[in-house]
Structure 1
Amino acid sequence: MILNLCPNPSIDSYAWMNNLVAGQSNRISNIKEYPGGKATHIALALAELGTESMLYAFWGGSSGEWIKKECLKKGVYINGIGLKDNNRKCYTFLSENKAFNNTEILEPGPSLNKKNWEDFKQGYVRLIEHTSIICLAGSWPRGISADTYAELIQIGNNFGKRSILDCTGKQLQNALEIGFFGLHLNEHEAMSLCGSANMEDLLKTLNGRVELVALTRGSKGLELFYRGKLITANVKIDEVISPVGSGDCLTAGIAYGVANNFSPSKIATYGVACGAANCLNEDLGMLHLEDVNRLLPQVEVKEIIYEQ
């Protein structure tokens, strides 16, 4: 089973509006809601790929109940800690008015106390022995220290489990002090981490503290470093309907490949196919297996000579 840790799940909404006028009442004409949070998307994609996938999170109020119910419908196992305050909602506004089309408004989510954290950590330890890979992704609610991911990764390391991390800022920097199996980041995140979007510069900064590095470049595809090999992979699609969550689905494809002991090239192929499949439908952060299977043979993969 792959365990997906989502500290700050959300209800993600597409909201249609004709215009947005400051200081006046603005009406949403239509809204569609989806279960959200980076690791939520990963868990949903893994379930669609046919892998046992568990989502471990803080579940807040009626919002948390709705997210759990939607994930259960799609074959994701659910576990975690209940909170009184609601999980957050995140809105993406769609409009013909380009000035605010794709504008996002993100709620902060609930606050956590020390007991919430200790309960969460204890539950995490209980689940680890049944886990092959741990995917940790996204932001944390308020009330948590900047070394929280590092502490959870250390627990995983102590059990001999492989962790794949997708986060930024102090949480990432502190986790790198511990060292872990896999890291997914995009060009902007690489720039923030090491001042460069070049894979070789990134690997020098990481200095062996991560075994697998997935660097995504949007429409330019993926660079994957694993087992001493540097792989580039990309696939062309005719139309991008929604890119939201494509990076999370790519992480799912990589975790799926690692869990099945695929070669570095095949892991990169699955990552790219899953990320692209997400772009082919308007459902936020979701993919369909038939799209993945159709895209897999179309992925262009190349091994780059890399001198360490």
Structure 2
Amino acid sequence: MILSVCPNPSIDTYAWIDAIEAKKANRITALKEFPGGKATHIAFALNELHHPTTLFANWAGNSGQWIKQSCADKNINTDGIEVVGQNRKCYTFRSKNEAFNNTELLEPGPTFTEQDWKNFSLKFQDSITKYSLVCISGSWPKGAPNDAYAQLITICNHQQKKVIIDCSGEQLKHALQGSFFGLHINEDELKSVYDNSDISTIVKNLSKKIKLIAITKGKEGLWLYYQGKLIHANVSISKVISTVGSGDCLTAGIAYAVDKNLKIEEIASYGVACGAANCLNDDLGMLKIEDVNQLLPKVTLKELDYAS
């Protein structure tokens, strides 16, 4: 089983609006809401792949209850702690007016206290005993320690649990100071850590501490390092409806294949097929298993020269 850890879950909301005028009342004509936050997308993708997972998170207020109920509706177990406040809502405005179409408005969410962090880390330490793999993905509430990922990685290492992380900024820099199983890092996050290094050089550096490295560059696909091999994988799709959550679905595909003990070629294939499947669906951060199954045979794989 896989534990999907979302430090800062959200309600992701499409809001349709004709125009936005300053100093006037602007009416939203329609709303469509989805459970969100990076590891929330991972949990829903794993569930769609019929792989058991639990979503572990900080739950706050009525919005947190709504996200938990959305999980229950899909038979996804939830775990974690309750905190004061409300889980955030993240709005994406949809409009025929390109000036603000796809403009985002993000709420801050709850604020962490020292006691919240203590409660979270203790609950996390207790919960991971039941899982074979842990995925931690996304931002933290304000007030959480800037080395929260590194501290959770240490807990996983002590219990000899595989952990795959996807984070950025200070959290990523602190995490990279230690050793752990897996990392998903995209092009923007790469630039914040490595200036102009090529993929092979980056893998050489990271592989000294990390066993599985997934590097993504949007349409250019996935570079996956695992068990001494470096593979590039990609798949073409005819139409992109929404890219929101594609990286998270890719992480889910990799986690799924790792937990099934599949070969690196199959891990890479599931990763890019799940990431691409998300793009075919208008529901934010969601994939459909039938799309994944149709895309898997179309994935192109190429083993690259790699000298450790």
Superposed pair shares fold, TM > 0.5: yes
CA separation of 1:229 and 1:207: change in aligned 2, threshold 3 A? closer
Say whether the 8 Å CA contact 2:17–2:93 is kept in structure 1: yes
Counterpart-to-counterpart distance in 2, 1:303 and 1:56: 35
Q: Matches of residues 103-252 of structure 1 in structure 2 within 5 Å?
A: 103-196=103-196, 198-206=198-206, 208-252=208-252
Where 1:185 maps in the other structure, the secondary structure is: strand
Whole-Å separation in 2 of the counterparts to 1:51 and 1:90: 27
| CA–CA separation in structure 2 for the residues paired with 1:20 and 1:215 | 38
Contact 2:207 2:213 in 1 (8 A): no
Query: Aligned to 1:129, what secondary structure does the other structure show?
Result: helix
1:17 correspondence with 2:4 = no
Does structure 2 retain, via aligned residues, the 8 Å contact 1:15–1:92?
A: yes
Judge conservation of contact 1:273–1:299 (CA < 8 Å) in 2: yes
Give the drift of 1:23.
2.5
CA displacement at 1:110 relative to structure 2: 0.3
State the shift of 1:281 in Å.
1.0
Unaligned segments of structure 2, at least 5 residues: none
Alpha-carbon offset, residue 42 of structure 1: 0.3
Quick check: 1:97 aligned with 2:97?
yes
| Superposition deviation, residue 269 in structure 1 | 0.0
What is the percent sequence identity of the aligned residues? 54
SS of the residue 1:57 aligns to: strand
| In structure 2, distance between residues paired with 1:73 and 1:290 | 20
Kept after mapping to 1: 8 A contact 2:17/2:27: yes
Specify the code of the residue in structure 1 equivalent to 2:208. G
Deviation at 1:197, TM superposition (A): 6.3
| SS at structure 1 position matched to 2:230 | strand
Give, in angstroms, the shift of residue 284 of structure 1: 0.5
What is the rounded CA distance, in whole Å, between the counterparts of 1:269 and 1:80 in structure 2? Answer: 31
Query: TM-score w.r.t. structure 1 length?
Result: 0.97
| C-alpha distance in structure 2 between counterparts of 1:11 and 1:71, whole Å | 12
Query: Would you say the 8 A contact 1:90–1:107 is kept in 2?
Result: yes
SS of the residue aligned with 2:13? strand
Q: CA deviation at 1:176?
A: 1.1
Quick one: which amino acid aligns to residue 6 of structure 1? C
Query: Using a 3 Å threshold, how does the CA distance of structure 1 residues 238 and 197 change in structure 2: closer, same or farther?
Result: farther
What one-letter code is carried by the residue in structure 2 that aligns with 1:13?
A: T
Distance of 2:22 and 2:211 partners within structure 1: 49
- Partners of 1:16 and 1:128 in 2: CA distance: 40
- Partner amino acid for 2:127? L
TM norm structure 2:
0.97
Over 3 Å counting, the alpha-carbon distance change for 1:61 and 1:197 in structure 2 is farther
Cα shift at 1:75: 2.4
Q: Deviations over 1:85-141 (max 9, x none)?
A: 110000111111111111111111101112211111111111111111110110000
Unaligned runs of 5+ in 1: none
Q: Distance in 2 between matches of 1:205 and 1:299?
A: 27
Taking a change above 3 Å as real, the CA distance of residues 47 and 207 of structure 1, as seen in their structure-2 partners, is closer
Deviates more, 1:198-207 or 1:283-292: 198-207
Whether 1:28 aligns to 2:28 is yes
Q: Tell me if the contact between 1:156 and 1:162 (Cα under 8 Å) persists in the aligned partners.
A: yes
Paired residue total: 308
Alignment pair present for 1:257 and 2:257: yes
Shift of 1:26: 1.4
* 1:59 Cα offset (Å): 0.4
